């Protein structure tokens, strides 16, 4: 898909845009990386400006039910909460994203943290248990493949 995270079923087939609107946030891996990379702006209570659209629709009048700074802070707080659950793996992920590494160039530990953080809902399972399950399933799959070939 072309950056449409509402309809996208597999992030690996996605061509992500450079910018995401608040309404588009579904916590796909590309969006999580983008949120982490824009953390300073979001923490200040501002949504990053769309690089393709210089106008901010100043002429529109909307009735707001909450302060404009709440949405950016809520999105960042959700990602940071999920990252805290991953421990050192999450810190590694943040460091690599801040260093300019993209989704394809992340270390295995950082990628595991990203896969735990992604998704519309938070994972119920603690990170260590989730990681063990993921490794077990990966090894089990590899055994099956070896038996078939």
59 pLDDT more than 60: no
Q: Can you give the pLDDT at residue 68?
A: 75
Mind listing the pLDDT tens digit for each residue in 10-41? Answer: 677 778 888 988 888 999 999 999 999 999 99
Summarize pLDDT for 91-105 with one digit per residue, the tens.
999 999 999 998 899
Whole-prediction pTM = 0.80
Mean pLDDT of the chain, nearest integer? 84
Judged against a pLDDT cut of 60, whether residue 1 lies above it is answered with no
Count CB-CB contacts under 10 A for residue 92.
19
Nearest to 115 by CA among 97, 136, 90: 90
Query: How many other C-beta atoms lie within 10 A of the C-beta of residue 144?
Result: 10
DSSP state of 47: P
């Amino acid at each position: 898909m072309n950056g449409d995270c509402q309809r996208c079923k597999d992030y690996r087939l996605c061509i992500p845009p450079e910018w995401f609107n608040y309404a588009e946030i579904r916590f796909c891996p590309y969006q999580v990386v983008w949120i982490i990379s824009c953390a300073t702006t979001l923490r200040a209570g501002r949504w990053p400006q769309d690089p393709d659209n210089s106008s901010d629709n100043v002429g529109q009048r909307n009735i707001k039910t909450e302060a404009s700074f709440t949405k950016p802070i809520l999105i960042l707080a959700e990602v940071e909460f999920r990252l805290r659950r991953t421990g050192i793996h999450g810190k590694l992920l943040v460091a690599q994203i801040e260093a300019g590494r993209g989704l394809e160039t992340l270390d295995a530990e950082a990628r595991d943290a990203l896969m735990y953080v992604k998704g519309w809902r938070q994972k119920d399972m603690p990170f260590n248990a989730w990681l063990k399950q993921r490794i077990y399933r990966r090894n089990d799959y590899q055994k099956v493949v070896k038996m078939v070939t």
